[in-house]
Amino acid sequence: MPIREEVRGRTLIVHLDREDKRNAINVEMALGISAALDRLDDDDTLWAGVITGTPKVFCAGTDLKDGAGARTDRGGEYGIIRRQRIKPLIAAVEGPCMGGGLEIALACDLIVASTAARMALPETRRGLVATSGALFRVTRALPPNIARQLLITGAGLTAQRAYDLGLVNVVSEPGQALADAQLLAEDINASGPVAVRATLAALNEQYAAADATGWEATGRAQEKILASDDMREGINAFFEKRPPEWKAR
């Protein structure tokens, strides 16, 4: 299975386990993520969650070949992006965290990243736009000019740079992101679970109106892209492993 679940104490760990595809999200993975996070929210014995990839890669985003429709009713894109979560969730990042992979991390409450991690939003390099929350979430997590640079160039962030800018909570040695994320989860679990959930709910409520506006703006951007020749060229160039020839239309 491309998604594995593991319980450590009161923490549910969700493993993305499709390394041969760089953990790119297809429909099967989205369903697995959604089921795991349903379990996290619905099981009273679980108080926190961690989502992680493999030791070499966190997630490369949408599987451009098999990822169409990779969303669920309760979780939205990837089974996580639009989820109204009840309990805290930590992203533990090793290796590439690209495009939709970074959007998964942005949908979590906290991020732990090893020095082997690299984060980027390369959608415009393929003639696309970020459609899973980055157009508004990354501007909250990072200074506006840094966020803008990530969204319209091929720039990326190391874990240390992301930490310095306030995106990452803990920087780990290579191979230690999951262990450090579990320690962070245990630290959360030492607090009253009702108080933690009420705090997160209050924080999320304050962004509800802005989120609605963000999704509307994202939808309009996506409509423009779907009607463009550049999108088709970008995707074709990706599969053909060549530089795209943009037409600006």
Query: What are the sequence ranges of the domains in the chain?
Result: 3-174
Residue 239: predicted pLDDT: 87
User: Which pLDDT belongs to residue 68?
Assistant: 79
Instruction: Note if 5 is an active site residue.
Output: no
Q: What is the identity of the amino acid at 249?
A: R
C-beta of residue 147 within 8 angstroms of C-beta of residue 102: no
Our answer to whether residue 123 is catalytic in this structure is yes
Catalytic-labelled residue, pool 5, 28, 123, 216: 123
Q: What pLDDT shows up at residue 30?
A: 96
Arithmetic mean of pLDDT over the chain = 96
Q: Report the pLDDT value the prediction gives residue 1, as an integer from 0 to 100.
A: 82
Is residue 169 within 8 A of residue 184, CB to CB? The reply is: yes
Task: Determine the average pLDDT of the residues in 129-133.
Answer: 96
> φ and ψ at 49, to 5 degrees?
-135, 155
Does pLDDT of 26 surpass 90?
yes
Distance of alpha carbon 51 from alpha carbon 113, whole angstroms: 12
| Contacts (Cβ under 8 Å, ≥6 apart) of 1 | 17, 32
**Per-residue confidence (pLDDT) for residue 64, from 0 to 100:** 79
Mean pLDDT across the stretch 81-95? 97
Task: Name the percent of the chain lying above pLDDT 90.
Answer: 89
CA geometry: angle 70, 170, 134, nearest 5 deg: 35
Q: Taking the model in full, what pTM does it have?
A: 0.96
Which residues, in sequence order, are bridge partners of residue 77?
71
- pLDDT, average across residues 159-175: 98
Q: Which of 5, 19, 103, 216 is catalytic?
A: 103
- 212 burial type by CB count under 10 A (0-12 exposed, 13-18 middle, 19+ buried): exposed
pLDDT digits (tens, 9 = 90+) for 56-70: 999 999 997 887 788
Overall CATH class of domain 3-174: alpha beta
208-225 per-position pLDDT tens digit: 999 999 999 999 999 999
